[in-house]
Amino acid sequence: MGIPRKYPEGTGAVTVEEAARILGISRHSMDSRVKDGTVHSFKIGRLRRISRKELTKIMEGNNGNTERSG
């Protein structure tokens, strides 16, 4: 059983805003997860990107939960 792809095929990475939309969370929440290292990202010059592999891990549940427990 595969994971539905919500991002364009052939795109190696997405912006933080696009990643937030794909995961169904706010941009602020995604920024927080990138900043605390929960979501791994990289920079190309001044642009921050998140790889499709990282998003797939998150959607499969292999990289922790996108929701914080209190």
CA–CA distance, 12 with 64 (Å, rounded to integer): 22
pLDDT of 12 over the 90 cut: no
At 33-47, the pLDDT tens digits run 999 999 999 999 999
Q: What is the pTM of this model?
A: 0.69
Cα diameter, the chain: 37
What confidence category does residue 69 fall into, taking pLDDT thresholds of 50, 70 and 90? very low
Q: Which residue has the higher pLDDT, 4 or 66?
A: 4
In this predicted structure, what is the pLDDT of residue 4?
Answer: 56
Q: Chain-wide mean pLDDT for the chain?
A: 83
